[in-house]
């Protein structure tokens, strides 16, 4: 592949390494975003070259359309039932492989698919690796009904968690609110740093108008971080020594 920017070289390297984990007969979850686009292309090449028989579920309509256009048949998650492996991008990942996802507004389907998988592998470039989650605005999917009330309740949760005054903004595209594949809104929480992600996640999801938040905690098993020179670094969670 020629003429890729350093960032795209890194994404493609991560995607290529992840696709090497795919084995004939696997049930796969396909992620969403610009890194996942490389994933789908590299996977389609292997399917074509090796005649792999796979069963694939998608985390978004966009990925499903791309996959189908490249000859990968997409089935519903419920038709497949359970997945061996999901490969997806991330907006941030910390040393424990906790993630922020949802930059592409697909966090709900992404979390459902990842949680229905034996293994989740994240593909990313080095810019996504952080010490503490939160510089990337945390996406929260909310239902349109009463969304401003939900926004106020989220602000109250943030105040309770000593994150008072952090902006909570509905994501827009031009003049219109961004709609998820489920027809919901995304509220982006500019938190700067998240001191207790587990507590925040539970508190957000306890609010009636919140459908899901973009914290993926304890879900990712392996991160493949692409490098601008085309190499990759693999990150796993260090086991605690007793």
Q: Which residues are catalytic?
A: 110
Which residues are registered as beta bridge partners of 189?
A: 138, 168
User: By CB under 6 A, what part of segment 164-193 binds ligand 5RP?
Assistant: none
- Site membership for ligand 5RP, residue 102 (CB under 6 A): yes
Q: Count CB neighbours of 96 within 10 A.
A: 14
Render 70-119 in DSSP notation, one character per residue.
TT--B--HHHH-SEEEEEE--SEE-TT--EE--TTS-HHHHHHHHHTEEE
Task: State the minimum distance, in angstroms, from the CB of residue 127 to ligand 5RP.
Answer: 9
- Site membership for ligand 5RP, residue 34 (CB under 6 A): yes
Task: State the minimum distance, in angstroms, from the CB of residue 104 to ligand 5RP.
Answer: 3
Q: Count CB neighbours of 227 within 10 A.
A: 15
Task: State the minimum distance, in angstroms, from the CB of residue 132 to ligand 5RP.
Answer: 18
Tell me the CA end-to-end span of the chain in Å, nearest whole number.
46
- Residue choice 28, 72, 85, 101 for contact with ligand 5RP (CB under 6 A): 101
Among the listed ranges 98-106, 112-120, 144-152, 188-196, the one in contact with ligand 5RP (CB under 6 A) is 98-106
CB 72 within 8 A of CB 40: yes
CA distance 75 to 52: 16
- Site membership for ligand 5RP, residue 63 (CB under 6 A): no
Name the helix (H) or strand (E) containing 65. Answer: helix 61-69
Which residues are registered as beta bridge partners of 187?
A: 140, 170
Q: Count CB neighbours of 108 within 10 A.
A: 22
Site string for ligand 5RP, 109-138 (x = CB under 6 A): -x----------------------------
- Residue choice 30, 106, 142, 223 for contact with ligand 5RP (CB under 6 A): 106
Which residue lies nearer to ligand 5RP by CB, 22 or 62? 62
Task: State the minimum distance, in angstroms, from the CB of residue 205 to ligand 5RP.
Answer: 17
- Site membership for ligand 5RP, residue 18 (CB under 6 A): no
Binding site for ligand 5RP (CB under 6 A): 31-35, 88-91, 101-107, 110
């Amino acid at each position: 592949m020629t003429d890729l920017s350093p960032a795209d070289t890194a994404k493609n390297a991560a995607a290529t390494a992840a696709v090497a984990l795919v084995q004939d007969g696997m049930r796969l979850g396909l992620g969403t975003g610009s890194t996942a686009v490389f994933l789908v292309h590299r996977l389609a090449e292997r399917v074509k070259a090796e005649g792999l028989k796979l069963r694939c579920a998608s985390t978004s309509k966009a990925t499903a359309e791309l996959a189908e256009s490249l000859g990968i048949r997409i089935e519903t998650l419920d038709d497949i039932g359970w997945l061996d492996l999901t490969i997806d991008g991330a907006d941030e990942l910390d040393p424990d492989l906790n993630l922020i996802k949802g930059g592409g507004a697909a966090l709900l389907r992404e979390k459902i698919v990842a949680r229905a998988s034996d293994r989740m592998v994240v593909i990313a470039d080095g810019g996504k690796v952080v010490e503490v989650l939160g510089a990337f605005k945390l996406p929260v999917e909310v239902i349109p009904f009463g969304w401003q009330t939900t926004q106020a309740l989220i602000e109250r949760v943030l105040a309770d968690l000593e994150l008072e005054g952090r902006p909570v903004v509905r994501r827009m595209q031009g003049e219109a609110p961004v709609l998820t594949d489920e027809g919901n809104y995304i509220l982006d929480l500019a938190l700067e740093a998240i001191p207790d992600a587990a507590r925040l996640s539970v508190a957000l999801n306890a609010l009636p108008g919140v459908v899901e938040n973009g914290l993926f905690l304890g879900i990712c098993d392996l991160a493949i971080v692409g490098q601008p020179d085309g190499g990759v670094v693999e990150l796993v969670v260090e086991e605690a020594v007793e």
